[in-house]
Amino acid sequence: MYRILAGFGALALVAAPPAHAQQTVKIGVIMSYSGQFADTGTQINNGIKLYMKEHGDTVAGKKIELIPKDNGGIAPDVAKRLSHQTLGTWAYKSGLRKVYTLVSDFGPGWDGEGAFQKGFKDAGGEIVGSARYPVATQDFAPFLQRAKDANPDGIYIWVPGGTQPAAIGKAIAERGIDINKIKILGQGELTFEEALKGMGNAGLGIITAFHYDYNHQSAKNKAFVAAYNAEFKRNPDMFSVGGYDGMHLIYEALKKTGGKTDGDALVAAMKGMTWESPRGQMMIDPETRDVVETVYIRKVEKVGNELRNVEIDKVPNVKDPPRAAK
């Protein structure tokens, strides 16, 4: 089994048994199909299906076969987040000087905490307090009260998604946090489309850094969103585009190798690969094999009658930083 972990979700490329090696390439899709984060699996799966519908199920003479497997819960590989260090640096440049951090108490949350704090402190900012909340909690009021009491310029929040963002929005309102005075910062899951519906106007003004939103204004993304809407009757999210881009990477690598699925050949084919994704220009770093992409700074605003993430700035060619110490 050769894992392809390049910021696209948990995809594994598996060579078929010798008797079928000339005909089939099996792709394992290992993620949450049940539990609190089941919709994550649905969105990745939708992205994969859409790419295969548009490009067919045969590449380099090989039939593509998907093998889904439920990981039963939170998947750290899927949940690994890019580039919070970029948001920390941007936060200082935007005028914030004191920030409190609040993150989910598991690996990706620690990574987000460490990366944001490094970016903010390296730029000259001060972390005035920090806390880690239980992964499954829905009660954020005491955590946000402590954050408010620290009197910061901003509160950085890392949340893995699910139903928690709406609970955070409710707690922000209940604790009387004025986001015109204390900026709320976070990664994209905090202001996913469904999360904003649950928050209502409590979400207005939240600033996030993320690599994809269905509102991104490019011809490539508009076509992707239209096709996704037509096929699945909903908007895509970052998991959807992750599945879509993951399949693009596998297809293009197989074309380069002439259908060979051995690890060395595939890795060599992927190194340095560039393409235009619905999220923007993409590259696989030839040295680290991580994704290099644009990070967008967005602010929740009311557009018509809807709350949307509106891009207010961007940082191009961002590389995945080293994992933070635990």
Q: Note the residue count of the chain.
A: 326
Q: For residue 22, what pLDDT is reported?
A: 56
Q: For residue 78, what pLDDT is reported?
A: 41
Please tell me the distance from the alpha carbon of residue 256 to that of residue 26, in angstroms, as a whole number: 18
Q: For residue 92, what pLDDT is reported?
A: 97
How deeply is 35 buried, as exposed, middle or buried, from its count of CB atoms within 10 A (0-12, 13-18, 19+)?
middle
In the block, which residue shows the tokens 């910062």? 185
**Domain coordinates in residue numbering, the chain:** 2-77+218-283, 84-210+292-319
Q: Over the stretch 67-91, which tens digit does the pLDDT of each residue have? A: 888 766 554 444 444 588 999 999 9
Where are the extended beta strands (E) located within 71-182?
Answer: 98-104, 126-133, 154-158
Contacts of 113 (CB under 8 A, 6+ apart): 101, 103, 130, 132, 156, 158, 324
Q: For residue 16, what pLDDT is reported?
A: 47
Please count the other Cβ atoms lying within 10 Å of the Cβ belonging to residue 104: 24
pTM of the model: 0.85
Please count the other Cβ atoms lying within 10 Å of the Cβ belonging to residue 262: 11
Q: For residue 233, what pLDDT is reported?
A: 97
Among 251, 245, 212, CA closest to 47: 245
CA 166 to chain centre: 18
Residue 166 sits at the vertex; the CA angle it makes with 182 and 221, to the nearest 5 degrees, is 90
Asked if residues 258 and 244 have their Cβ atoms less than 8 Å apart, the reply is: no
> CA separation (Å) from 1 to 28, 61, 208?
9, 20, 36
CATH classification of 2-77+218-283 is 3.30.70.260, yes or no?
Answer: no
Asked if residues 79 and 158 have their Cβ atoms less than 8 Å apart, the reply is: no
Asked if residues 7 and 291 have their Cβ atoms less than 8 Å apart, the reply is: yes
CATH superfamily of 84-210+292-319: Response regulator (3.40.50.2300)
Structure tokens at 191: 């202001």
Please tell me the distance from the alpha carbon of residue 89 to that of residue 249, in angstroms, as a whole number: 30
Print the SS3 string covering 172-203. HHHCCCCCCCCEEEEEHHHHCHHHHHHHHHHH
Contacts of 323 (CB under 8 A, 6+ apart): 111, 114
Please count the other Cβ atoms lying within 10 Å of the Cβ belonging to residue 43: 25
Strands 291-303 and 24-31: unpaired
Please give the helix or strand (H or E) that residue 32 lies within, else none: none
* Spans in the chain with pLDDT lower than 50: 1-7, 14-21, 75-81, 324-326
